[in-house]
Each structure stands twice: as C-alpha cells, then as structure tokens.
Structure 1
Amino acid sequence: MTLQGKTAIVTGSNSGIGLGIARSFAAGGLNVVLNSYSDTEEDHALAADLAKEHGVEVRYIQADLSSGEAARGLVESAGRCDILVNNAGIQHVAPVENFPAGKWDAIIAINLSSAFHTTAAALPMMRAAGWGRVINIASAHGLRASPYKSAYVAAKHGIVGMTKVVALETAEEPITANAICPGYVLTPLVESQIPDTMKEYGMDRDTAIREVLLKRQPSKEFATTDQLGGTALFLCSDHAAQITGTTISVDGGWTAV
C-alpha cells in the first residue's frame, strides 16, 4: 500500500528528532503537519520549503501541548490524521526532593498527557479512514532510569504503557501503535552542548563525546535523526502491519545492558 496522499501529524517537529521524522515522511510521499509551541515566520517557511522540496503538502500548526484542549485542537485543525507521531517533549534535571513541582507538571503534561489527548482525537479519524499508525517517541528512559530525571523517566515509562493499551484497543483493526526508544541522538541541541562538555571536563571533542555524552551508549555513536525517521517510516509500511504494542530501541545497545 502506498503512503502517498496520507497525512502525518508530528508534534514538536520544527527541529531535532521531530523534524528528522517529518523530513523522512515528506520524502516518502506523505503530507505532513509540523507543530511546535512557537508561531514564527521561520516555522511556516520551514513547512513551505519542505513542501517544495518533496512535492507534498506541508503545513505548520502552532499548539501549546501543555494544554490538553490545544493538543486535541491540533488534530482537529489538521482535519485528517492517518499517522500520529507524538514527539513533543521537554526536560529538567534535579533530585526528587528539589524537583520543582511546576517543572514536574509541565513535563508530565507535554511529554505524556499531550500524547493521550492527540491520540484520543486521532483514533476516530483513523477508524473512519480504515487505517492508522500511532508512533510514540519514548526514550531509552522509557525502559531504564537515570538519577535526577524523575519526571522525564516517569513520563517516558508512561508513554510505553499507553502505547501498549492503544495497541490492544486497536488490535483487530488496521491500526498499530508502537513506541520508538532513542538513546542519545545528535540533534542541534546536543551539538550545542558539546563545547561546554569539552570545557567542563578538559577533553577534546571525541573524548568528551565517548566518555561523557555517550557513556551509557555502548556503540559510542549517536543515533541520527535520519535513522529515527527511517524507523518511523518503516512502522508505517505494510511490512510492519503486525508490529504493534511494542518498543523499538534505537540506542546503540544501551538497553541491552
């Protein structure tokens, strides 16, 4: 079955992993809805450039996914959702006893609750179309824990659990739900952290990457946004029609340990 003409909504997709997935989808012939909390000329120009490059329809729809109403409104504004990629997320690091309650609430709202709201809004559209894919971008932290990341780890574990529930509720339909669990990915945000890491530890670039940033990633290589885009595109293919309710790790062996 061709994916051409189908519409994918990718949350948090004006940079990083989300943009990498959106690029792979557009290259695969999908129409794409980009999203983030901002609403700038650059956001809309990004959509226009992607549409021109691949000859598909690409729109940018602003939505603050900390609001459940706005998350549902994103899907409703798109008007169609054959593929939903819940990627939006934020992070904060602190010990549990010092973790700001507001940061906890924001991380749970954006990283977990928004995916519930978008999925609830998208499933009726998928059922009406007779086909659908829900792809949740979890994390290696959806399968493992790290100190000082209580909200993020809780949210990502929750995403994995919700993925399984959606898969069971749609198991007899041509709809699948899966979670991709990346390890460390070379995004612009991570790239910007490398010089500070080098300075802090007095290391050259390669050593700082291997010994600090990728300490827990056995391959000692970053995953790339292209690799994640390819994984997401595979999950949309007929080859993945019986893959549902599971996690796919793209983490260089992190969760094999």
Structure 2
Amino acid sequence: MAAHGGSSAYARSVLRIIDARTGEPVDAAPARRGLTRIEAHTEGFDVTALRLLLTADLLVRALELGGTPVWALLDEERQQAELRAGAAALGIRPFEDGRDAASGLGEAQVLHVVREEGGRPDGVRVAVAPVHSEAPPEEADPAALRLALLSRRRSVPVPLDAAVLAEAHDTLVRWRRAVAAWARQPSRPIPDEVRAELRTAWEDDLDVPGVLGVLRWVETAPDLPDGARFETYAYADRLLGLDLTHDLGAPT
C-alpha cells in the first residue's frame, strides 16, 4: 500500500476540518489541547438529522483519539425523543441538551455541525450533505445503516435505498467474521504505514471513506499477519463505531 501521508500523520496529529463559512481548513482542536465544544443543529428529525449527529459523533471520537477533551451538545427543541432514540440505535453517544448550556465551560474552540442548507450560527460550521431517503428505514440493521452513512464524505449526498443497505450489511458481516478469525492468531502490531494512512485520512476533514479504503486494503493485503489485521480493524473501529469485534468468541 502506498502511504500517501507517510510519516506526516505523526507530525500533524491535529484534526483539520473545512469551515463551511470560508471554505478553508481550520484546526478542530485548540493549539494547547483545550476544550472543544461540538454543537449539533439538526432542525427536526429525519435521516439527514441522523447523519448530522453521526458526523458530530465522529468529530468527538476523532478529537478524543487525539487527546482533546470534548463537550458535545444537541441544539434542538423539536422531536428530541425521536432524535435521541435514533442516535442511540446507531451507536451514537449521548449529547447534552444545548438549551441548558449557554454559559459554556471556557472552551477554546466551537464547532457547529449543521445541514448543508441549514441554519448559520456564528463560529466554525461543519456542513453535512443530505440523505436521499424520506425516513429511517424501519427494517434496516442499525450497524449497516451506520456504515452506509459513513461510506461517503459528509459533503457528498447519500442515496439510501435497499441496495445500498444490503451492500453495507454484507460488508459488515464479512468484516466481523474476518475480525473474529484473525483474533485467534497471535497479535501483531499495526504497521507504521497503515497507522499513518488511517490517521492521515480521518485528520483530513474526517475522510471516513479513506479510512474504509485502508481497511479494504488490509483485509486482503499479501504478507500481512492476521494479528496485525485484527489490531488495525480494532484501532479503526474506535473512530468508526461499527462494533467490528461483535463476533469474537462466536462458534465458527
């Protein structure tokens, strides 16, 4: 695998995000590792709102992996119960109620996660493109839905239909079975170039499809020990939240 980022992933260990107001990248973490506040502005409940909350969840995970403390808030008055239930089903960690947090905690950076054509709060805006589906599919496996929503960069609309969900489900099943099989082999460290590829992807404006691409390469890469494949998938899943170790210990 060509390590596009190479060792620079270690030198630039700060998540940079495109500010929708200016089109320019900004550091999501303060220079001195102070608190970052993430506010999700959902504007009602639909699949795009869930994608927005998922983007906020990824920001939280990526910043915490880099050692930055994060305060995550949901700024929404409508359909909070539906939003929180839908988020929980997708494995999105809970948000505090933004209506009760106006005073702040002295945070050094504030990121507003908004719909692409939504409200325009002051501060850095992280815009999320729509999902082309009227409502969350009731029959969808939540983990497969999460993977389907992760499969495109957040600036690109997601067409969500039965075929997309089926592909995500099949990928998830294959990866979970592979991770369970690899776990039975001796552990091996993640190769430096693979770790660098992962970090370079997610620190570059949350390029989650880039992270998934690294996992696809690792899945079949020649001469890579199975123990290293396992550690790579477990490490990436700290960001992805797909429960890739779900089948560990299951009968073969």
- The verdict on a shared fold, with TM-score over 0.5 as the criterion, is no
TM-score (norm 1): 0.27
Higher relative contact order (Cα pairs below 8 Å, separated by 6+ residues): 2
TM-score (norm 2): 0.27
